[in-house]
Amino acid sequence: MADGERSAGPDQPALSIRRASLAYPGGGPVLTGVDGSVAPGEAVALIGPNGGGKSTLIKGLLGLVPVVAGEITVLGRSPARARRDVAYVPQADTLDPDFPISAAQVVLTGRYRRIGWLRRPGRTDRAIAGEALDRVGLAHRARTRFGELSGGQRQRVLLARAIAQRPRLLLLDEPFNGVDAVSQQTILATLAEFKRAGAAVVVSTHDLTVAHLNCESVCLVNGCQYGFGPTGRTLTSPGLRAAYGQQAVELRGDRVIVAGT
């Protein structure tokens, strides 16, 4: 069967990474030796310092950064062929706040991979987008220009765009940075809904408590993999010290502290 026709079965992992190394064109590997899997309905937290390769791995799962060694399989296909079933939520502050587009229009772009970029969204697509905006508590801001929203509200709009896409794999890059408590709780509740619906989730975060309480597994990276496995066995003081070095952090109960203090 051709690669573009295969799909992950009910007993297959949604995401399979086998000793993968990733590199940008013209450069050496940014991240090496990543090895692990994520089942449908489960979440993995990407943990590691800034510049350690978390965003690179997410781009690799989208097929935007080449895999130069090993293999990444997304929903039974290559990352590039699986994009139609993968939603990506970037950091809100990476987008141009001056671009003249409303919150509703941003969410509606989540339908384009389903309907095709050359077709106009229909009534059903607009209803799905409106429902997604309502689920993140921002239906009343549908006509507000995206750049006029707060940081947390912009992040919720991007999450609504992912909801409208109806993906089987959801990728989030630092979704909790600079967001208010309401937005954080909305994001966490939505991630739980995705998992209950059978979607797999990959979330890059520095919030170890969020990872500890909301993710079934953890991937520790800093240029290479320091661990990939069940949260309770991977999110440990030795693993964090190895990944973070002198700036290690650790968990004590549900509290996050700086190691050595």
Map out the domains of the chain as residue ranges.
12-96+167-258
Label residue 61 exposed, middle or buried (CB < 10 Å: 0-12, 13-18, 19+). Answer: buried
Going residue by residue through the chain, which has 261 residues, state the pLDDT in tens, using 9 for 90 and above. Answer: 233 334 555 568 999 999 999 999 988 999 999 999 999 999 999 999 989 999 999 999 999 999 999 999 999 999 999 999 999 999 876 677 778 899 999 999 988 877 665 667 778 989 999 999 999 999 999 999 999 999 999 999 999 999 999 999 999 999 998 889 999 999 999 999 999 999 999 999 988 888 989 999 999 999 999 999 999 999 988 888 889 886 666 555 545 555 444
Contacts of 197 (CB under 8 A, 6+ apart): 41
Residue (of 132, 79, 136, 139) closest to 110 by Cα position: 132
| Alpha-helix residue ranges (DSSP H) falling in 169-220 | 181-196, 208-214
**Whether the Cβ atoms of residue 40 and residue 200 lie closer than 8 Å to each other:** yes
Contacts of 219 (CB under 8 A, 6+ apart): 34, 36, 44, 45, 46, 47, 57, 225, 227, 228, 234
* Structure letter (DSSP) for residue 12: S
Residue (of 232, 227, 219) closest to 61 by Cα position: 219
Reduce the DSSP state of residue 17 to 3 states and report it: strand
Q: Structure pTM? A: 0.88
Multiple choice CATH, 12-96+167-258, 3.40.449.10, 2.60.40.60, 3.40.50.300, 3.30.230.70: 3.40.50.300
